[in-house]
């Protein structure tokens, strides 16, 4: 099955949510049980919050989020935000604060320093760490995809 056929099949499957071209969401239980034809993931960890799938030799890579993960909604908010950013924006430390203010309206007037203090005070600095790691993952995904497409020409 080629990439176009797979994408058409995925669009018809109500169990797969296509958020963006390179960001999908599905319950990993469906993937591990083989209920979604055309998508095979070796060594899938159904407890993981995401996997990255490469379709074809010169094709795109897609981040698939696990809808069955307990933190799915929080993870989704990060990826919906960063997938719209350029690599340069993802590398800019201030975009975390922009995401934070967008997702936590009570703090939209907080300065970056105040947000850092809030994260430290409530021992939730892992939020910032997760955001930064997600940006690094997305930057690497895009770079790998670009290299693969250049080799395929």
Is residue 114 predicted with pLDDT exceeding 90?
A: yes
- Residues 113 and 148 placed together within one structural domain of the fold: yes
- Residues 22 and 40 grouped into a single domain: yes
Domain with 8 in it: 3-66
Residues 6+ apart with CB under 8 A from 83: 19, 20, 22, 23, 63, 138
In this prediction, residue 146 has a pLDDT band, given cuts at 50, 70 and 90, of confident
- Do residue 37 and residue 103 come from a single domain? no
Q: Can you give the pTM of this predicted structure?
A: 0.85
Q: How many CA atoms lie within 13 A of 150 on its CB side?
A: 6
pLDDT of 82 strictly over 80? yes
- Residue 150's pLDDT band (cuts 50, 70, 90): confident
How many domains does one find in the chain? 2
Q: Residues 76, 146: one domain?
A: yes
- In angstroms, rounded to a whole number, what is the distance separating the alpha carbons of residues 142 and 132? 16
Residue 106 sits in the same domain as residue 136: yes
Q: pLDDT tens, 5-61?
A: 767 777 777 788 889 988 999 988 877 766 666 666 767 788 899 988 877 655 678
Residues 51 and 83 reside in one and the same domain: no
Mean pLDDT, rounded, of the chain: 86
93 plus 56 within the same structural domain: no
pLDDT at residue 83, rounded to an integer: 96
Residue 137, burial from CB neighbour count under 10 angstroms (0-12, 13-18, 19+): middle
């Amino acid at each position: 099955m080629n990439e176009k056929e797979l994408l058409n099949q995925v669009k018809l499957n109500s169990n797969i949510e296509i958020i963006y071209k390179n960001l999908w969401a599905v319950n990993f239980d469906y993937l591990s049980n083989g209920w979604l034809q055309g998508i095979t993931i070796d060594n899938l960890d159904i407890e993981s919050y995401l996997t990255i799938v490469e379709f074809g030799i010169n094709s795109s890579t897609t981040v698939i989020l696990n809808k069955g993960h307990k933190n799915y909604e929080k993870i989704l908010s990060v990826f919906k935000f960063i997938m719209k950013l350029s690599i340069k924006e993802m590398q800019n430390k201030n975009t975390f604060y922009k995401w934070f203010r967008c997702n936590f309206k009570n703090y939209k007037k907080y300065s970056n320093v105040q947000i850092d203090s809030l994260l430290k005070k409530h021992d939730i600095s892992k939020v910032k760490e997760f955001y930064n790691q997600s940006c690094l993952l997305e930057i690497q995904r895009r770079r790998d995809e670009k290299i693969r497409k250049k080799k395929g020409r």
